[in-house]
Chains A and B, each alone.
Chain A
Amino acid sequence: GAVVSQHPSRVICKSGTSVKIECRSLDFQATTMFWYRQFPKQSLMLMATSNEGSKATYEQGVEKDKFLINHASLTLSTLTVTSAHPEDSSFYICSASKGSDGYTFGSGTRLTVV
């Protein structure tokens, strides 16, 4: 149990376009989901915490207008990178919380902006 599906796994987009990444909890309800960004050979940096039915809480330094997060249901959260630029190229990973059972991570999305 506790499977999180993240799509797409890879995406290449043109500079100035927007990209949506989906994160779904397949076999449990996730009241809280987290979005991370990972640069090559570095650790995961939390971008925002997403709670179902409310606005996401962004970490300091993360542009909320660039990285739009929506958590419309207990099983789906989306991250939209708006007006993407090459510096937004990165590996994005979501995770879902099962309360005291811990966290389950998606398989990540490699975004390349050209």
Chain B
Amino acid sequence: AQSVTQLDSQVPVFEEAPVELRCNYSSSVSVYLFWYVQYPNQGLQLLLKYLSGSTLVKGINGFEAEFNKSQTSFHLRKPSVHISDTAEYFCAVSAGGNEKLTFGTGTRLTIIP
């Protein structure tokens, strides 16, 4: 079984400042890792994913994440945030292609003008 921990439930950041949203996971098998963004009353949009290969993954909207196997982490970063980045961010893990996704509890990112 897999689990995901997002330690920060809320992260306020000033506009144009950098941000890091933390995600740690646990699993007894190799995993796929994902970051999703959710805007109010909407579904989830994929930001980026790690399946294999390069541990630095670049996604949409200027986000990137680094897979660190030794620390079992997959932190999400953006060098300069915008007001439009205000949303809920979910880290998720699965054991394979058609396996279920296990989500973290989410981090609400609030951008302060």
Chain A interfacial residues counted at CB < 8 A: 27
Contacting residue for B103 out of A31, A44, A99, A102, CB 8 A: A44
Contact B106–A103 (Cβ < 8 Å): no
Stretch at the interface among B19-27, B34-42, B66-74, B77-85: B34-42
Q: Counting CB contacts under 8 A, is A25 at the interface? A: no
**Bound complex: CA A105 to CA B96 (Å):** 17
Q: What is the size category of the interface that chain B forms with chain A?
A: 20 to 34
Q: Counting CB contacts under 8 A, is B101 at the interface? A: yes
CB distance from B108 to the nearest CB of A (A): 8
Q: Counting CB contacts under 8 A, is A6 at the interface? A: yes
Find the A residue at minimum CB distance from B9: A41
| A residues adjacent to B (C-beta < 8 A) | 4, 6, 31-32, 34, 41-44, 46, 49, 91, 93, 95, 97-108, 110
